[in-house]
Homo-oligomer: A and B are copies of this chain.
Amino acid sequence: MKVITFGELLLRLSAPGYTKLFQRDALEASFCGGEANVAVSLANFGIESVFVSRMPNSSVGKAGAHSLDYFNVDTSKIVYGSGRMGLYYLEKGASQRPSNIIYDREYSSFALAQRSDFDWEHIFDGADWFHWTGIDPALSDEMADICDDACRYAKEKGITVSCDLNYRGKLWSSKKAQTVMKPLMKYVDLCICNEEDAEKVLGIKSENTVVEEGKLNKSDYSNIAKEICDLYGCKYVATTLRKSYSASCNGWGAMLFDAKESQSYFSREYDIWIVDRVGGGDSFSAAMIYTFSTSKTCQEKIEFATAASCLKQTIEGDYNRVSVNDVEDLVHSSGNGRVRR
């Protein structure tokens, strides 16, 4: 399977350990981004993974592309041009102290992209799957048009489309998000979202669940997923179910809704001692996409994707550096973490 992922690569600058930003005079530097994280995960699962973006024509931009080359992500379709490397500062939370992200991504090369920058015929050559997220069109109206271009082209060619709704209140309002995203939903075969995304991006609200309080209601999730499929014709909706006990410990599970069967599949649930939760959702998306290249059942799909994204959160950095074997080992074991020797 060949997957095209479209989005922005960012530079992540993290305060070391559990310090506050600039408490120390060093920042950990790595490249990442919701869509790039998916591309890397897929490559690590052995999928032919292509990352499409627009990046600054500088040694910073080149270093970003090399960070993907490292994982054998195909970066030959990246366009280089004006604009800066978007970045974010990260302060890792602990216990009652939340992680804090300060974005500095305006005027980035990606945000400044034009429709003419992307030759979708060339990009989609040989592709089986197209993945994008709700962050893309939030960056500019032009970018919303670009997403429309890409999705339309993909559908014409019979390429499967997945989208992680990924609502970011710092990028756009719920109202704007709905205006832009609803028309794009018709292209989406696999919709990935959590409850907040469904409400803010599609206006679909559960009745009982209160995320803040960590109360998760299984039937609510099924209802939301069903409604999405009914309204927009999606074939699948995949939802992660995070229970935030604290910044250091989370419950983690997920659900896959199969529209054809009108059936929900819930994964086993993990209590995770968090090493780095950023990128958890992206690793879930990637693993879910991966399962469509295998003959897994829906239950197996959701178990694989949940285990993969559980493991991501035990590793430092946004990228999920685990293999299919690592994930299968967790799926088929108790997750008791005994040393392998």
Contact = CB atoms under 8 A, between A and B. Distances in A.
A284 B89 CA distance: 28
Given A60-B89, A70-B70, A330-B96, A23 B337 contact: no
Nearest to A274: B95
Contact of A340 (B100, B244, B246, B316): B100
Nearest to A211: B338
B339 A277 contact: yes
B29 A96 contact: no
Contacts of A94: 273, 275, 314-315, 337
A147 interface: no
Say what secondary structure dominates the interface of chain A. Answer: loop
A307 B107 CA distance: 37
Nearest to A72: B69
Contact of A60 (B21, B315, B335): B21
A158 interface: no
A322 B337 CA distance: 26
Interface stretch (A11-19, A116-124, A148-156): A11-19
Contact of A246 (B214, B248, B315, B336): B336
Q: Which of A63, A98, A100 has the largest number of chain B CB atoms within 10 A? A: A98
